[in-house]
Structure 1
Amino acid sequence: MKISTEIINDAIEFRRELHKNPELSTEEFETSRRIQQQLDQLGIPYTAGYAGTGVLGVIKGKHPGKIVGLRADIDALPIQEISGEPFSSEKNGVMHACGHDAHTSMLVATARVLLERTDEINGTILLIFQPAEELSPEGGSQRMMDDGVFDQYTPDVLIGQHVWPGLPAGQFGVMAGPIMGNSDKFFLRIKGSGGHASMPQDTVDAIIVANQVVSSLQTIVSRNADPMEPAVVTVGRFEGGTKHNVIAETVEIEGTIRTQSDKMKKLAKERFFEIVQNVTSAMGAEVDIEFYDGYPATVNTEKWADQLHETVFKLYGEKALPKVNPSLAGEDFSRFLQNYPGVYYWLGSSVGENQKPLHNPAFRFNEEAIPYGVEVMSQAAIDTLNTLKDI
């Protein structure tokens, strides 16, 4: 079924409206209001307030059957936009730099398409608008489930879509098994003994200790991990010292550990604590450690990944399904998939050679991807329900 130009144009307009008015995790009140307004206009029944600002819309087909849920995340990031788009963020220091504005508008457009195809729907389709996806390690998905988002309608399969600047519009990243990684984070406060720069013998230089900790942490990947097991240790913040002639008393370090398998996560976490404690102790310093188990790996159910692959193949052929590798980025959809079968996939959205990555202040989304995203998500919901009918 060809999607009307009106639906696509309205999706672009709604996406730009959301892009100009981004809201941070747990603060998506106006975004939630706008979503509810869209559902009201479409006559789609919904409930709201899950995880604070989450919304659940319900579309019932003309035939009985199972339940499929479609998810879009709705929050933005604390980033000052420099993309140059004419519809750039109007909120200082907040930006949709991860495509959640596009996810939200495409799910609304998908709902419009499904309303036109209720005679093809064998069962019920849930429209899940999830807040706080960026709020790792807490996230919004578990809170939505805790708040009873699926109490009345329990999904048999969940489907999630994410824009992907590493692929051109018209291509999709689909795979069974892990597609996104475990995303844990840590905070260290290393405490030495400061003093005059000319008399290091009377001090424990927190900067020197912290440097050794950072260097040693890299051995987790280079010398402890199986080279065939994906893992990354990144220190994203290193802050210490007060003046050129003062040996630092304290240093603060923040970072993240990304892994794909639970086995590698366990090894990395154990080695992290051993390295930090032993290096600081050996150098005469103390350390406070905060470690946060973040989002688990996003693991696709093989059956539903295969089903999604078949849907894309029938629509666009093999050229739309390049071979892709998993990412170690984190994704809160993972907690949904720990409770329900499903599939999470990537929607190609590159603007070309000037494309910046997700979470970059100059990130741009190629709106030519919107028809592909709407068509695949709507067709995937129908195809999945048809398959469930025969199980």
Structure 2
Amino acid sequence: MFYKSATAIQEQVIEWRRHLHQYPELSHEEKETRAFVCRVLDDAGIAYESMKASYGVIGIIKGEKPGKTVALRADMDALPIRETNDVPYRSTKERVMHACGHDAHTAMLLGTGITLQENKSEIEGTVLLLFQPAEEDAPIGGAQAMMEDPAFLQWKPDAIFGQHVWPDLPVGQIGVRDGAMMGNSDRFTIVINGKAGHASMPHQTVDAIVVANQLMSSLQTIVSRNVNPLDAAVITIGKMTGGDRYNVIAREVVLEGTVRTLSLSVREQVEKRLVSLVEQVAAGLGAKASVTYQKGYVSTINTSKWANHVREQARLLFGEAAAPDVDPSLAGEDFGRFLQTYPGAYFWLGTAIKERPVQSPLHDASFDIDEEALVYGINLMATTAVTALEQLKGEES
């Protein structure tokens, strides 16, 4: 089905998205974003409940026919990035930006809610609109807190769906697959302790910077020599801090990085090998090193049944070419925690800007979307929810 009401409110949804883009808020600070969401829900006559321990909101749309419960999720928080786009709706905050499209997610879920509210006569059951805070606050996130909140615990969704804008796909295409869609996202900190001294007398010291350089090279052997080449794994050092002065050999260096994997077994293998390798390499060079390893978001694993459902709806709505085969991403996503408890599917919405020969990736200071994609996202979310409820009711009878 294609909802005319979604097209009718397209300009309104663009306006909402641009407002949210101009006034972004970081994780756990989404106070005004929540207030905005609640105002729109009030104006649309959609019932909702606010989370007790966070800025989350649950919109509640009860169909005119009895049935099961389906949840749709959008994340709301922004990133600590200084925007470089020269657009009228550029962020008004110096170092805060919606560089991951959560402004679009929130606006689309509001549009989806209004579309469903206007078509309640078709709905066999209940649709929950989950406006989730703190998705960017890895490794803690906001999904677990939302699921544990009293406002959410009264509901037990029979299926849950989430979407994410995706600059690698053109407008009109959807990325969805069975099984792993996004990766396990862990982080680690390595503290290296050597022995400081004068730069001209290295033989009297243990240079922590030399140890750090050796470690950064050695860590890559975990992926190249310990992990099966057919399995996915990435180890990245994103930050190195150390040293006091140009002519003083460093006593301490701190490395901060991330590990990305798809399977739980590879995740455990990489963690174990990383800790062992750090200790051994440091000891071999006369230094000491310690590792703090934090498990973050779990891999986002789609339920095959519901991934196929999203794929089918996308092709019915937008054509057979609308759901091409896609590979998983090793980016982390808090939605994986919902899928550990509830069956469902997570999919990507094509938002590539036609005028850009090279698309800016997620989390980039120049990231933006083709706003034509918003109506596609609304229609797919609304249709997926309604047809999922129909399928659930059919399975019950």
Partner of 1:3: 4
Residue in structure 2 matched with residue 386 of structure 1 by the alignment: 390
Match of 1:275 among 257, 262, 277: 277
In the TM superposition, residue 148 of structure 1 has moved relative to its aligned partner by 2.6
What SS class does the counterpart of residue 390 from structure 1 fall into? helix
Matched, 1:181 2:175: no
- Corresponding position of 1:49: 51
1:206-221 alignment, distance < 5 Å: 206-221=208-223
2:370 aligned to 356, 366, 369, which one? 366
* Aligned-partner SS, 1:344: strand
Aligned to 1:193, the other structure's residue is in SS state: coil
Match of 1:302 in 2: 304
| 1:108-160 Cα deviation digits (max 9, x unpaired) | 00011111211111100000000000000100000111213432221000000
Moved more, 308-317 or 23-32: 308-317
Q: Is the 8 A contact 2:51 2:151 kept in 1?
A: no
Alignment of 1:353 with 2:353, yes or no, is no
Q: Is the 8 A contact 1:277 1:287 kept in 2?
A: yes
Matched to 1:77, the amino acid is L
SS at match of 1:98: coil
**How many residue pairs were aligned?**
391
Residue matched to 1:284: 286
Q: Which runs of 5+ in 1 are unaligned?
A: none
Counterpart AA for 1:46: Y
Q: For 1:112-123, what aligned pairs fall within 5 Å after superposition?
A: 112-123=114-125
CA RMSD of aligned residues (A): 1.0
CA distance in 1, matches of 2:154, 2:261: 35
Alignment of 1:249-260 (within 5 A): 249-260=251-262
Secondary structure of residue in 2 paired with 1:190? strand
Q: Secondary structure at the match of 2:256?
A: strand
Give the structure 2 partner of residue 82 of structure 1: 84
Whether contact under 8 Å (2:297, 2:337) holds in the other structure is yes
SS at match of 1:254: strand
Q: 5+ unaligned residues in a row in structure 2: which ranges?
A: none
1:298 is displaced (CA, Å) by: 0.1
| Cα-to-partner distance string for 1:153-196 (whole Å, 9 max, x where unaligned) | 21000000000011011000011100000000001111111111
Residue of 145, 149, 152 corresponding to 1:147: 149
**Contact 1:12-1:367 at 8 Å conserved across structures:** yes
- CA deviations 1:306-361 (Å, max 9, x no partner) are 11111111111221111110000000000000000000000001113242000001
Task: State the TM-score, normalized to the length of structure 1.
Answer: 0.98
TM-score (norm 2): 0.97
**Alignment partner for residue 197 of structure 1, among 190, 199, 207?**
199
| Matching residue's letter, 1:123 | G
> In 2, Cα distance between the equivalents of 1:347 and 1:39?
24
2:335 and 2:116 mapped to 1: Cα distance? 23
**Secondary structure of the residue that 1:270 maps to in structure 2?**
helix
| Correspondence for 1:97 among 93, 96, 99 | 99
Question: What's 1:17 paired with?
Answer: 19
Shift of 1:242: 2.3
- 2:339 is the alignment partner of 1:337: yes
Distance 1:275 1:206 in 2: 16
Matched-pair contact (CA < 8 Å) for 1:51–1:140: no
Deviation of 1:243 after TM superposition, in Å, equals 2.1
Partner of 1:240: 242
Deviates more, 1:27-36 or 1:110-119: 110-119
d(CA) in 2 for partners of 1:174, 1:50: 33
> Structure 1, residues 204-252: CA drift from partner, whole Å, max 9, x if none?
0000001111111001110001111011000000121222211111111
1:218 is paired with a residue whose SS is helix
Q: Does the 8 Å contact 1:3/1:375 carry over to 2?
A: no
SS in 1 for 2:131: strand
Distance 1:194 1:85 in 2: 50
Q: Once structures 1 and 2 are overlaid, which stretch shifts more, 306-315 or 325-334?
A: 306-315
Distance 2:219 2:114 in 1: 50
* Local SS of the residue matching 1:76: coil
User: What does residue range 148-167 of structure 1 map to in structure 2 within 5 Å?
Assistant: 148-167=150-169
The answer as to whether partners of 1:50 and 1:143 remain within 8 angstroms in 2 is no
